[in-house]
Amino acid sequence: MTDNRRFLLRRRPQGEPVAQDFELVTEPKPSIADGQFLIRNHYASLDPAMRGWMDDADSYMPPIPLGAPVRASTIGVVEESRAEGFVPGQWVMGLHAIEDYSVSAAGGFTQPIDPAIVPSVTNYLSLFGAVGMTAYFGLLEVCEPKAGETVLVSGAAGAVGSIVGQLAKIQGCRVVGIAGGAEKCARLVDRYGFDAAIDYRGKDEAALVAAIAKEAPNGVDVIFENVGGIVLDAGLMNLNMHARVGLCGLISEYNSPEPVGARNLWRLIVKRASIRGLLVADYVARFGEGAAKMGEWAAQGRIVVDEHIDDGIEHAFDAFMRLFSGTNQGKMILRIA
Amino acid sequence: MTDNRRFLLRRRPQGEPVAQDFELVTEPKPSIADGQFLIRNHYASLDPAMRGWMDDADSYMPPIPLGAPVRASTIGVVEESRAEGFVPGQWVMGLHAIEDYSVSAAGGFTQPIDPAIVPSVTNYLSLFGAVGMTAYFGLLEVCEPKAGETVLVSGAAGAVGSIVGQLAKIQGCRVVGIAGGAEKCARLVDRYGFDAAIDYRGKDEAALVAAIAKEAPNGVDVIFENVGGIVLDAGLMNLNMHARVGLCGLISEYNSPEPVGARNLWRLIVKRASIRGLLVADYVARFGEGAAKMGEWAAQGRIVVDEHIDDGIEHAFDAFMRLFSGTNQGKMILRIA
């Protein structure tokens, strides 16, 4: 193959992305310079954070340039190499883009991976990738749950949330998840072992406050927040003293023209509680430690992971938008080749 | 005197309090039971937090009951005592109410104070009271400023804010204050030693963001937040990595019918920053330690405190409302007798 299909960002989405914000183009397969290597991408991770990278905002990494392919974590195989330590045939993962071929260089974020030691190589985009490590370090190090405490997880049926809930159970906590729809709520309890699930659909803030109070009768000690908006506001109304809110994401506002934030911030004073932002990039040096623990629990059957794999780079837009419509069931992954 | 004038809460304010929400009544001087003592109140502290106590909300202490006198920290003299450790003539401070006479009991929050060791007995409601201790423990223990960091203080000309700024200077920080009006801003720099002052009046969020960026060219490491609303949102846009926001108060929303909170919460993720609620009540056992340090710095002339004393319980409402109109200059105190 000599073509490189690339899923480009053509203009910055205003609110909810539309297909016209992107373009799938075919370019020649890129060549590499000294110190570089060429990756044949097989799978791309689709994550809510990518929506933020499409905005022209001062964030933790530069915006995706207009006309560039959409940045994504991918896994693939080295096809050609002029870089030490990367040989053709080697599987790698890293922050690349939604395209057939990416050029990377030694000393960057691209890391070798071993497909032989995991059930599926795609697990490097879920349990053993940014998603799993976000859950692991975000819950255990930012939220510090203790046995017997109650942990509330929003976006609980999502890739990160479903793992967070299972990790919180392993820590001996009562775990309450919030998700959209009866099917997802059933999955939280039946498949991921949450103690209770709350369907946010059709509920206003007061109804959410009451639902959380019912399922967390001793109050909430930890919130692992992926959603924001009234979901977060309702959680804040149920905080216990010295509660910790780990702020992982705010998917409810990623497509809104203005930030939404949290209105019930005054609860932090009443309960001497805290909200702390978390980003998995801070823990890259410790991924080995986290992956080893996750592998151990997975092997013991104490953590399960679901992956929703859509097939074909031509479906990149529709697959990405599942994150916002909630029509995915598990970690959203795009199969490129 | 045998009368007890009491400033009662008659109905719960809707938004901004009005005079009709309160009533000044005259009742007989109360009698005391075994274990109790009677305090002749001389001064009452007027604080923004009292507005929250007037609402029927689940907070860190019960709402002021309708028909009860408005709860306030006061200082006064024991007039009669049937409690061990409290003798007539002894000065005391504690959480009482805006009234001529309060009944208290041993084992409560009422503590003896010594007017001989301070420049003015009213300093027990400012530098050596909840205000000073809020600044001391809130800044030093919740925000943990380090020498060379930049500290942003909102409500900086207020009772707590003006002390916070001086403490941050003692810690070796660059200190930027936000206040309302040119006169207050001049006072921040000239009297309290802030490095810079920003007048929030007439500025929208974007203008505030730019003004903070100008005065904090290396970014903001600590926010000591007393105000909320766009003042907090503008501060969040200027955070440095791992910044700490100590949430002391949200005076801009205390009279609003709905909570406002913070819209730019996403900045916490970008900067891995935190917001932590703080309440001085958590540090009561360590007030002695804090007061000793404050006394030392005050004696060295490194901390000055201003008190705005309005005279007469009949002016309780107007004096309280100065906190929201900002017409006070320093710690707001009501002289009762």
Q: What is the mean pLDDT of residues A213-224?
A: 98
B274 contacts on A by Cβ (under 8 Å): 274-277
Residues B316 and B98: their CA atoms lie apart, in Å, by: 8
pTM above 0.90, yes or no: yes
Name the pairing type of β-strands B22-28 and B307-311. unpaired
Instruction: Express each pLDDT in B88-143 by its tens digit.
Output: 999 999 999 999 999 999 877 898 999 998 999 999 999 999 999 999 999 999 99
CA-nearest residue to B270 within chain A is: A60
Return the ∠ at Cα B187 (arms to B222 and B121), rounded to 5°.
90
Mean of the per-residue pLDDT values of chain A? 95
> Sorting pLDDT into bands at 50, 70 and 90, what band is A108?
confident
Confidence (pLDDT) at A106 = 84
Residue that the structure tokens 């006169």 belong to: B183
Q: Assess contact for A235 and B24: CB atoms under 8 A.
A: no
Facing A272 at nearest CB: one of B258, B262, B278: B278
Per-residue pLDDT band for B197 (boundaries 50, 70, 90) equals very high
Across B140-147, average pLDDT: 98
**Cα–Cα distance between B227 and B252 in angstroms, integer?**
5
Question: How far is CA B281 from each of CA A29, A100, B109, B257, B287, rounded to the nearest angstrom?
Answer: 66, 60, 10, 26, 10
CATH 3.40.50.720 fits A130-281, yes or no: yes
Smallest Cβ distance to B261: which of A58, A262, A272? A262
- Virtual torsion, Cα B12, B14, B19, B25, nearest 10 deg: -10
- Asked if the model's pLDDT at residue A1 lies above 80, the reply is no
- DSSP single-letter state for residue B213: H
pLDDT score recorded for residue A300: 94
Confirm if B85 and B106 have CB atoms less than 8 A apart.
Answer: yes
Percentage of chain A lying above the pLDDT 70 cut: 100
Judge whether residue B1 has pLDDT over 80: no
Q: Is the pLDDT assigned to residue A165 strictly greater than 90? A: yes
Does B278 contact A269 at a Cβ distance shorter than 8 Å? yes
Q: What is the pLDDT of residue A254?
A: 85
> Which residue from B245, B316, B232, B321 is spatially nearest to B43, judged by alpha carbons?
B316
Closest residue on chain B to A247 (Cα) = B269
Alpha helices in A63-204 (DSSP H): 130-137, 159-170, 182-190
Closest of A83, A67, A80 to residue A23, by C-alpha: A67
Phi and psi torsions of A147, nearest 5°: -55, 135
Strands B274-277 and A220-225: unpaired
- Residue range B209-213: mean pLDDT, rounded: 98
Q: Which of A251, A254, A268, A284 to mutate to test the interface with B (most CBs of B within 10 A)?
A: A268
Given the structure tokens 């991921």, which residue do they identify?
Answer: A192
Taking a C-beta distance cutoff of 8 angstroms, is the pair A320, A333 a contact?
Answer: no
Q: What's the CATH code, domain B3-126+305-335?
A: 3.90.180.10
The span from the CA of A81 to the CA of A87, in Å, is 6
Q: At a CB cut-off of 8 Å and minimum separation 6, what does B261 contact?
A: A233, A261, A262, A263, A264, A265, A266, B228, B253
pLDDT band at A258 (very low <50, low <70, confident <90, very high): confident
Quick check: helix, strand or coil at residue B14?
Answer: coil
Contact at CB, A261 and B259, closer than 8 angstroms: no
Axis-axis angle for helices B130-137, B287-299 (nearest 10): 90
Amino acid symbol at B115: P
Query: What is the average per-residue pLDDT within A214-222?
Result: 98
- Largest CA-CA distance found in chain A, in angstroms, rounded: 62
Interface size, chain A vs chain B, as Cβ–Cβ contacts under 8 Å: 104
DSSP class of residue A248? -
Domain boundaries of chain A, sorted by first residue: 3-126+305-335, 130-281
* Confidence band of B304 (pLDDT split at 50, 70, 90): very high
- List the one residue out of B96, B93, B98 whose CA is nearest residue B75: B93
Q: What is the ipTM of this complex?
A: 0.92
pLDDT score for A253? 87
For A277-319, what is each residue's pLDDT tens digit? 999 999 988 988 999 999 999 999 999 999 999 999 999 999 9
Contact check, Cβ <8 Å, A247/B260 = no
Residues of B near A (Cβ–Cβ under 8 Å) read 52, 58-60, 228, 233, 247-250, 253, 258-279, 282
User: Tokens at residue A174, please?
Assistant: 């009562």
First to last CA, chain B: 11
Cα B82 to chain centroid distance, Å, stands at 32
**Please, which pLDDT band fits residue A2 given cuts at 50, 70 and 90?**
confident
Inter-axis angle of helices B159-170 and B287-299, nearest 10:
70
- Residue of A89, A101, A82, A72 lying closest to A35 (CA atoms): A82
CATH number for domain B133-281, candidates 3.10.580.10, 3.40.50.720, 3.20.20.70, 3.30.420.40: 3.40.50.720
**Residue-wise burial string across B295-317, b where 16 or more C-beta atoms lie within 10 A, e elsewhere:** bebbeeeebebbbbbbeebeebb
The amino acid sitting at A279 is L
φ, ψ of residue A62 to 5 degrees: the values are -65, 150
Q: Which residues contact A289 (CB under 8 A, 6 or more apart)?
A: none
Query: pLDDT value at position A256?
Result: 86
